[in-house]
Structure 1
Amino acid sequence: PTMVNGKLVALKVIRLQEEEGTPFTAIREASLLKGLKHSNIVLLHDIIHTKETLTLVFEYVHTDLCQYMDRHPGGLHPDNLKLFLYQLLRGLSYIHQRYILHRDLKPQNLLISDTGELKLADFGLARAKSVPSHTYSNEVVTLWYRPPDVLLGSTDYSTCLDMWGVGCIFIEMIQGVAAFPGMKDIQDQLERIFLVLGTPCEDTWPGVHSLPHFKPDSFTVYSSKKLRQAWNKLGYVDHAEELASRFLQCFPKNRLSAQAALQHEYFSQLPPRLWEISDINCTLPMPNDRYFPDTWSKTQTRLL
């Protein structure tokens, strides 16, 4: 962090190569972020362009969800989990309505302020989606959070790409471990997904056989399981298993949108005033909405 005009800011400095000009991803990130004003999206204060560097001046946010979960192992307090997911969906709903995909959702790219405010960051791979039929590079999103359609070589994706990542992050916040921590390669990553959700076929996923990397004989045939069989803590949080299952759909068009997810029963107990906040107002802190110490109760009752 650096002090500018008495404010802590984070500087992202991109060195420019004389012969290359300004890196395209940096320009893309800057132009997209300049137009986004929302409390759940990191604020870009300024862009400083010199001959040698492009510097993006961001608001400073002291930690990210990855570090936060490292400090609170074993899964987050159910109330914090709900507030974090609510804010993540709020930020995504805002960008998706503007035809922008994030494309690299993972805990490291979700910043957490000391009051529990969550902000989407690192839009380096994001791009405006003006025409649904665009084909995009499939080399995006860290493998663990990458949806099966992208792993299988699909480049024809829309906002449902980000919703798979939401499901993975939701489960990681509940369970305290990554949902699909592949160890080797794309094949291994897909096997881990199919082990839980079932190996897809044309009946469950129309068009899967025509994806570039889909070879029916190369995958073990698994039948789908209940999510709590893979992640037992989903059974402790009311409505969590059902919501997670709406995000973790192999067939992209079946994934719940960010906007629809905010209406899910899982959020029915949130304080009503949280729904009345405008885009640019801070979501937290509010009286009684401060987040809780993150330790799972030993006597947590199982919700069946």
Structure 2
Amino acid sequence: MNNESQHVPLATPVVISPAGGPRVGRHRLPAPPHALRGRAAVLAVAAGAAVSAASAGSVLDVAGTHSTEAGDIALLANGETVPATPAPSTSATASATPSLPEPVVITAMAAETENAQSTMLYAGTEINTQREIAEEQARRPKVAMPAFGSYTSPYAMRWGVMHAGVDIANSAGTEIYAATDGTVIDSGPAQGYGNWIRIMSDDGTMTVYGHMQSLDVSKGERVYAGQKIAGMGSLGFSTGSHLHFEVLVNGGKDHVDPALWLAQQGLGSPGTGSAGSTGMAGSTELSNTGSLGS
């Protein structure tokens, strides 16, 4: 008991001046003990820090923040050390806001997957295009009527010589078509024909076209059945605008009747099914030694 009483500080007496007397020093209060002043300063600093954190828009939970700050202030008031607050985990992704949208991360695997999908799409499109081309070619006729007009001269002897083709008459410039798929082996001037075009098909059948006033294909060009190759005319040994048409088989060695050949292909007789036929009967090439059909 005696030891404890020796450590208790004595209270500072407060002097009260009598009424009407001078009140010197009444506004002054005794200074608090040094330890209490230190704790008050710590409380003020902690409270200021709490207010600053709240005004800065802290994303921490309000209730949790208040309880934590109250506990820290109490510890500081008692002179104890506040435990360190754990740093937020870097693995956790912060919630996206309108002002700070969540970033889109494209990994290498995602890029490779996208490239593979693009390649597959391109390959599928290319395959589909090739299939459409193949289907179109399959639907396309393999043999076509070379021209439309009046059938004016058959494959037969005429004026003592063989007329080795058929004549289809129509107005100058009437379209002339390739009778088969094939390669153009001649396109230009030729004796008796004026101009001619010769086409060798894939199966060794050669077709010949004569007297054209215009040519639309060149030697070495690949053509298809039904493709326009020339415009009808009357060049060479001819009495009027018409097409002289020949068919040779066995690699172009042997003539055959073009009318029969067209019928075998399901096309009917030359000149049938024409539109705007001029009926130019008698328009044919002249017979001459070394000319057509000789």
- Range class of TM-score, shorter chain: under 0.3
Bigger Rg over Cα: 2
Give the TM-score taking structure 2 as reference length.
0.21
Give the TM-score taking structure 1 as reference length.
0.20
Higher helix share: 1
Higher strand share: 2
